[in-house]
Structure 1
Amino acid sequence: MMDIFESLIALVASNRSGRGPARLCSPSVMSSALEVLTRARRVAVVTGFFVPSAGFPETDGPGGSAALARAVDLSGREASLWTDERCFSVVASASRAIDGVVPRAASEGSDILSWKPDLIVYLERLGRAADGGYYNMRGQDVSSMVVSLDDAVLTKREEVDVIGIGDGGNEAGMGNLRRELGKLMPSFSRFLSVVESDAPLPVDVSDWGGYALAGALSLSCGEWCGVDPDEVASMVEAEVAAGAVDGVTLKGEPSVDGFPLEIQRSVAAGVRDIVESQLLSPVP
């Protein structure tokens, strides 16, 4: 089984972005995230990263979250997909493109908790730093534009498991890795999130972590429940049509964190190949 996680990490957490956090990923890290996910029965997926300078959300987050929420649903579990009002149209466009879970808008963490999840997955969702502020990867304070949905963890942490998927260390759920990330990214250390999770999953692009977990969830139900390359392309294109911008280039183009659509498609195809090889040849 660990061979699968090694292959998935080589695909989605090889430090291709050069940021550093993905260097902390390992087969055991991804295995732990999948273990937390598979034992859950009621999963809330939370995403949405608004870019103030562009006036729209970024393309990273909605696709991976829509894919993961749909996979949870297809695997026989209950799923909900959450974001805030500013990011709602983009998240809805991504999920609609794959006939996924209809998203819900939250104005605070208690809205998510009222759904009574036993697991919250934060995917590319900002988490507060040590000073209580929220910062983007440029170290800019964007607190005025952030709806604090990470407070769902802080107010009722003991009753809900949490997975955090991120690529920069400033996302909710990455707090467990703060010390190691501070060494890898010393100039960014004060902007790192302090919000912890049961299973932080650092990857190259947050969407890719969502695609990997959605695909790996297929192992628990015996059939593919992840996303295909064409679906990924449809989601990204739908996001851009709804106004989303690439978080790195700040342009309204069909790319994610500076990686073009062809790379997004190849990652989705790679996840499916890796997982289906296991489904077709299960370990006795």
Structure 2
Amino acid sequence: MDIRGSVEKLIAADRGGRKVSSLFRPGFLDDALGLLEGSSRVAVVTGFFVPACGAPETDGPGGAVMLGRSLVRSGKETVLCTDRLCLEAVKACSASVGGPVVREAAGVEEILAFRPDLLVFIERLGRAEDGLYYNMRGEDVSATTAPLDGAALSGNGLKVLAVGDGGNEAGMGLFREKLAELLPGYAPCLSVVGADTALPVDVSDWGGYALASLLSLECGEWIGPEDRETGTMLDALISAGAVDGVTRRREPTVDGFPEEEHRHVIRELKELVTFRLRSSGKGLS
């Protein structure tokens, strides 16, 4: 099995039983990396607010920060964008590991002001067919969701890459027909916002970690996340008030998975990538 097949098994094995990652197909990672490597200015959009808890969730910022940092390390101008309600948590997460600058965005204009040539959504809600935003419980959360997904609908030819794990995220509209078959009861809540390429994964953070890690292959040295940084980011997120979106508790978990599971994913990613780098004769820092 090639490295991309191994990465797919690691991040899209349907460990959460949501069925969404069953749509992952060979070639998705190549397409995503092609978009990232062909870009020069990238806006990464994240942040999912949980109104029932009055707090943002822990999934999304970690993957966005690590992908953003790897993009910076590979020489690309990168900014993280989120809304006012998620701003402090995302800023704390990024600052804790030396990640990119974080900008507040109330709508499309603030994102496009950066003049990106690539837009990346990681665990960011996308509107449903009725124009509203829904969480995984089918609850309407439009009142606390800034319409940042509109940046993908701006019609200016901007390339869009997305990562999601529930079907309600921006970019997952690419799979809407198939997701409606897999999740018929949830079909009205599925996002209609598509993307040029999207990764349906078990946990959105893992998609961000995978892309951040695989960017190392182009650079010839490891520029991805370290396993200990998951704890650092989670501590920062929790201190800023974030909660697990599944358990709705303020605890060091992401989508119900404990920190050690996320550390395992990163360790495996680094092992796969560094082995490939050594095998190709490229040096490692």
Specify the TM-score bucket, using the shorter chain as the normaliser. over 0.9
Query: What's the counterpart of residue 169 of structure 2?
Result: 171
Distance in 2 between the 1:171 and 1:130 partners? 13
Count the aligned residue pairs: 282
Match 1:256 to one of 254, 257, 263: 254
Aligned match of 2:73? 74
* CA displacement 1:222-280 (0-9 Å, x = unmatched): 11111001111110111011100000000000000000011011111111111111111
**2-structure distance, mates of 1:196, 1:282:** 36
- Aligned partner of 2:3 in structure 1 is 4
Inter-partner Cα distance in structure 1 for 2:12 and 2:100: 26
Q: How does 1:121-270 map to 2 (within 5 A)?
A: 121-156=120-155, 158-270=156-268
Query: Matched residue of 1:122: which SS?
Result: strand
Query: Which contiguous aligned blocks of 4+ residues in structure 1 show a shift greater than 3 angstroms?
Result: none
Deviation at 1:26, TM superposition (A): 2.1
Looking at structure 1, the residues matched to 153 and 248 of structure 2 have their Cα atoms a distance apart, in angstroms, of 31
Q: 1:6-64, CA deviations, whole angstroms, 9 ceiling, x for partnerless residues?
A: 11111111101110110011221121111111111111000000000000000000000
Aligned to 1:87: 86
| Partner amino acid, structure 2, of 1:35 | G
Residue 277 of structure 1 corresponds to: 275
> Aligned to 1:217, what secondary structure does the other structure show?
helix
SS in 2 for 1:193: coil
How far apart are the structure 1 equivalents of 2:230 and 2:259? 9
In structure 2, distance between residues paired with 1:151 and 1:19: 26
What's 1:27 paired with?
Answer: 26
| Shift of residue 159, structure 1, vs aligned partner | 2.1
Say yes or no: does 1:63 pair with 2:62.
yes
**Structure 2-normalised TM-score?**
0.97
Identify if the C-alpha distance between structure 1 residues 183 and 233 changes in structure 2 by more than 3 Å, giving closer, same or farther. same
Partner Cα separation in structure 2 for residue 27 and residue 72 of structure 1:
23
* Conservation of the 8 A alpha-carbon contact between 1:67 and 1:227: yes
Query: What code does the residue aligned with 1:205 have?
Result: V
CA distance in 2, matches of 1:273, 1:153: 34
Which moves more between the two structures, 265-274 or 53-62?
A: 265-274
Amino acid at match of 1:54: C
Of 180-189 and 246-255, more deviation after overlay is shown by 180-189
> CA separation in 2, counterparts of 1:112 and 1:103?
11
User: Which sections of structure 2, spanning at least 5 residues, go unmatched?
Assistant: none
Which consecutive residues of structure 1, in runs of 5 or more, have no partner in the other structure? none
Q: In the alignment, which residue of structure 2 is the partner of 1:99? A: 98
Are the counterparts in 2 of residues 233 and 264 from structure 1 also a CA contact under 8 Å? no
| Structure 1 residue identity aligned to 2:144 | M
RMSD (Å), alpha carbons: 1.2
User: SS at 2:2's partner residue?
Assistant: helix
Q: 1:283, CA displacement in angstroms?
A: 8.7
Identical pairs, percent: 50
Report if the CA contact (8 A) 1:166-1:203 is conserved: yes
Provide, for residues 137-193 of structure 1, a one-character-per-residue CA deviation record: whole Å limited to 9, x for no partner: 00000001100001111123x421000100001000111100011111111111000
Whether the 8 Å contact between 1:6 and 1:26 is mirrored in structure 2 is no
Output the CA distance in 2 between the equivalents of 1:80 and 1:27.
Answer: 29
Shift in alpha-carbon separation, 1:149–1:176, aligned structure 2, 3 A = same
Q: Distance in 1 between matches of 2:190 and 2:280?
A: 40
Q: Distance in 1 between matches of 2:34 and 2:237?
A: 30
Distance in 2 separating the partners of 1:283 and 1:187: 51
